[in-house]
């Protein structure tokens, strides 16, 4: 973990967050400025700056993140199946809109009544 990284501090518990999930390698927490009814982030506890910086040694934790996302999305209120679902967004680098230089997946979803007939 990095001493100066915002998401490292959050996953260590140095900065409070609304925790969604935690294990030895991963930490998930609610976004402080949600853009949908369900909006949380999943981060590896080990500091990885972005997807541009992953290596073969990161394959295991990235695979675990990918498997965990649907489970957490359902637990947080996303509907299953083709009528439900969720979005996964990863911003990389300044040109990709990344604001915090620590790899994180946004999971966004939940009921959106304003978009339905």
Catalytic residue among 39, 102, 104, 106: 104
- Domains of the chain (ranges plus CATH)? 6-112 (3.30.428.10)
- Whole-model pTM: value is 0.90
For this structure, is 30 an active site residue? no
What are the C-alpha distances in Å from 89 to residues 1, 12, 49, 81, 105?
23, 23, 16, 19, 6
pLDDT tens digit sequence for 34-61: 999 999 999 999 999 999 999 999 999 9
pLDDT tens digit sequence for 11-29: 999 999 999 999 999 999 9
Q: What is the pLDDT of residue 115?
A: 61
């Amino acid at each position: 973990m990095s001493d100066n990284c915002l998401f490292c501090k959050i996953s260590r518990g140095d900065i409070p967050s609304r925790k969604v999930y935690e294990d030895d390698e991963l930490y998930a927490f609610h976004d402080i400025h949600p853009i949908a009814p369900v909006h949380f982030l999943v981060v590896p506890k080990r500091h990885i700056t972005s997807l541009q910086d992953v290596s073969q040694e990161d394959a295991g934790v990235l695979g675990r993140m990918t498997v965990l996302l649907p489970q957490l999305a359902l637990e947080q209120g996303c509907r299953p199946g083709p009528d439900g679902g969720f979005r996964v967004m990863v911003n990389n680098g300044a040109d990709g809109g990344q604001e915090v230089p620590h790899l994180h997946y946004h999971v966004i979803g939940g009921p959106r009544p304003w978009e339905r007939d």
